[in-house]
A and B are shown apart, each in its own frame.
Chain A
Amino acid sequence: MDIIKIFLLILGSFVIFGISGMISGWLDRKITARLQWRIGPPWWQNFADFLKLTGKETVIPDRANEFLFFLSPAIGIISVVITGAVLLSGIFYKPARWDLFIFIYLMMIPSITIFLAGAASGNVLASVGAGRELRLLLSYELPFILALLVPVVKYHSAQISEIMNYQMMYKINVGYISGLIAFIVGLLAFQGKLGYVPFDVSEAETEIAGGTFVEYSGVLLAMFKLTKWILLSVGVTFFVIYFLGGFHNLITGILKYLLVLLLIVLIKNTNPRLRTDQILRFSWGWLTILGFFALILSLAGF
């Protein structure tokens, strides 16, 4: 019975977050386009892109490590789907007591697969990208965890659904000063996880021509694209649940989702790309300090 449940959960996660991810990705593209006086693609553009990529030839470079080259997109997509399943388990089943930490752990895996993909490609540009991705991972992970710990301290629980319920009973997380700071810090760190400007150093098409993905094509690239879309959707959903009170009312829930998405897109479109050392300084400096500050504030009860 349990296995069927788990299977349904994962399938559900794939379908829900896959579709909402593609739509979110389209919203991102559309809003970006409107900000830049362009018209932007129609709503089914990402589905079409995905479909087209799956029909393309997959080229494997001579010098690539084929095993890792194939494995990393697969692990990437599996990890984000399971991440989504962890979020969904809070709604449909009795979730694990410490599922927040499972979530944090799983959210780290896509970045690692991107690093592996770059390292396995056997291309100079890809290996530069891989090095950058690793440095990026090191820089945003600490503030991200700090930001997520703030509600844990406040509600004495590390269960995502419980934190959501507490917010319904009392006050949403961003209503507190500490929660607001943690939300901002977490969102900026998440921007890095997504690889969006200003933290898109590992892809940086105008510097290293796509970086880690430079050798990828066809189905494998499609899998990476899907990974990014699902990650976007899962991340935004998590922020809504964790900081903004969740989806108890579906309409306000969707509005909250759009608000967080809009914030991410706006940050993306009003900044140039930072250098890796600047990202490191910014994350370990400002973001980490703010994260600790929020943690102390939440300990003091603000």
Chain B
Amino acid sequence: MKKVIVPIGPYHSLFEEPEYFALYCDGERVVDIEWMAGYNHRGIEKLSESKHWDQVTFLIERICGICSTSHPIAYCNAVEDLAKIEIPERAKYIRSIVGELERLHSHLLWVGLAGHFLGYNTVFMWAWKYREPILDIMEMVTGNRNHYAMMKIGGVRRDIENEDIDIIKKILDELKGKLEMLTGAVLDDPVLAARLKGVGVLTKQDIKDYGAVGPVARASGVDIDVRRDNPHAAYNLVEWKVITCQDGDVFSKAVVRLLECFESIKIIEQSLVRLKKIKGDIAIEVRYIPSGEGIGRYEAPRGECYHYVRSDGTSRPVRHKIRAPSYVNIPTFKASCIGETIADVTIILAGIDPCYCCTERAITVYDADTRKKLFDGKDLMKLSQEKTRKIKKQLGFKEK
């Protein structure tokens, strides 16, 4: 059978960042898929070994502009686990509030993008319009619309004032009505349902096989959520529930994300009420990080974000390992995309809310015996040029 490769990427209007998906198609049907990441590798893990403990929180914010507080929370959890630090109660609530605000804006961002990928630009613009007040709250609370720099080992860096709480409450109340309208418009639309229901189904087994996390797993009925399973910040102090769906298609992913927005609002509202009553510090002073290992997890909007740090008692981490959610979610495409049409595959690709910052990795090849680096930049360039020439020859391009 002659297969045609339909390329999605490295630069494609579907994505906002470089990523390459090769769809092997038979007509419009996708029979195989390959993906390649790492176009934007920045070496964050290595960089963080050259910064001292407090600087790393700002560095890892730059992993991703959208989950820019999930990584710091996970990292702080890791370091606090290592140094056995208990953060003040007020800091716990503030962490939860910032984290949930981020989840709200990230989920709304996804709803908009999903609409855009389906050609439904009205949903795109409306969802992003509703996202705007959340960014305003962020600016008010943290001083920035993105890259909030709120987290710090031992607590948070900024306090939320009592006057601000009332304003946040008011904005959230307004948002709730809009969100309900948007949720209704998206979930009750028969055409959207026709496009999304039964598309890209991931079974419970698929989720376990590929180790998918976050809303992708919850949409397939796998009941995991780090916020509940590994309580930290204020998540065990407030009332909320984990949203799950059973179908595993793109539609249930949308349902999970949209309903999670309401849970986030619930968490924020309760936290704000408690925050008014609690007095005290927002951070404790951490003077010394002992040697040892620490693990921190946080439920980022896209799933479990995992940080591991190791210390030898100096001012820098000797090893900092990050596992971001999209990196484990993307391989599920093997299970969900094959057999679907190109039109469906694009929305399946978007369905896991892929964040390419999460997936950037570099690989170094060493010779097993001599421990010498095998490929340097020049070799890779040569390999790439050879391959391009080979492909061109296969496809019958004229040599120029």
Contacts and interface: CB of A to CB of B under 8 A. Distances in A.
Interface of A: 32, 35-38, 62-63, 124-125, 128, 131-132, 197-198, 200-201, 204-210, 269-278
B28 A276 contact: yes
B346 A35 contact: no
Q: Give the residue among B6, B119, B341, B344 with the most A Cβ atoms within 10 A.
A: B119
B122 A207 contact: no
A70 B191 CA distance: 37
Interface string B115-155: 11111111111100100000000000000000000000000
B343 A271 contact: no
B28 A36 contact: no
Contacts of B126: 36-37
A271 B342 contact: no
A197 B191 CA distance: 12
A274 B344 CA distance: 10
Given A63-B397, A198-B191, A272 B346 contact: no
Interface residues of B, number: 36
A201 B12 CA distance: 17
Contacts of A274: 191, 194-195
A274 to B, nearest CB: 7
Contact of B398 (A37, A62, A200, A272): A62
B194 A278 contact: yes
Contacts of A200: 119
A206 B117 contact: yes
A101 to B, nearest CB: 33
B119 A272 contact: yes
Contacts of B396: 63
B28 A206 contact: no
Contacts of A62: 397-398
B192 interface: yes
B13 interface: yes
Interface in B245-284: none
Contacts of A273: 118-120, 195, 343
Interface hub of A36, A272, A278 (most chain B Cβ within 10 A): A272
Contact of B119 (A35, A198, A276, A277): A198
A260 to B, nearest CB: 20
